[in-house]
Amino acid sequence: MKQKNSMNRQNRKLWIIINYLSIILILSIFYTGKYYDWPVFVIVCEAASFILLIFSFIKVFIKTQLWKMSHASDKNLDERQLQVMLNSLKYSYSAFTIIVLVIVYGFAIAEQGPIDVVIAACLLYIAHTLPAAIVGWKEKII
């Protein structure tokens, strides 16, 4: 049954893209700021990127209930929802493993030292939102 607060799949895809692009933007601006010793313009851009991340998170994960569904106990899901979540977990953790390995090996090859807290926070965010994003991307009706 379609909920009145859900958006169509095309809009969900757009907001998922915006959400993950805002993470890339946050990381890019963070390292730019770190390199140029944090000029005011970079700080403003970083804040705007963070606001975009929060806004898109609320829009695509909270208002559509994707976050609630992906973090619900399997006892609270019907058979269809459980199957959808198990499938999304399989794909999301495979993708997450690849993302982490690329970052770890990229840092090692570039000799950039250990992964800092900003990348770790972004990876934690991705780990928690990726299953919901896959459901939002693939399913016509949530």
Give tens-digit pLDDT for 80-99: 999 999 999 999 999 999 99
User: Which token pair is 110?
Assistant: 């570039």
| Residue 4 belongs to some domain of the structure | no
| Residue 1 belongs to some domain of the structure | no
| Residue 3 belongs to some domain of the structure | no
pLDDT number for residue 1? 40
| Residue 125 belongs to some domain of the structure | yes
pLDDT number for residue 6? 65
| Residue 68 belongs to some domain of the structure | yes
- pLDDT band for position 52 (cuts 50, 70, 90): very high
| Residue 35 belongs to some domain of the structure | yes
How far is the C-alpha of 64 from the C-alpha of 81, rounded, in Å? 14
How far is the C-alpha of 22 from the C-alpha of 129, rounded, in Å? 13
Indicate if the pLDDT at residue 121 is higher than 90: yes
What letter would DSSP give residue 109?
Answer: H
Give tens-digit pLDDT for 3-16: 555 689 999 999 99
Structural domain of residue 88, as residue ranges?
Answer: 9-138
Q: Are 71 and 135 in contact (CB under 8 A)?
A: no
HEC readout, 54-86: HHHHHHHHHCCCHHHHHCCCHHHCCHHHHHHHH
- Average pLDDT rounded to a whole number, residues 28-49: 95
The backbone region for 65, taken as left when phi is positive above 0, alpha when psi lies in -120 to 50, beta otherwise, is: left
Q: What total number of domains does the chain contain?
A: 1
pLDDT number for residue 30? 95
Chain centroid to CA 50:
13
What is the four-CA torsion angle of 76, 80, 81, 84, rounded to 10 degrees? Answer: 150
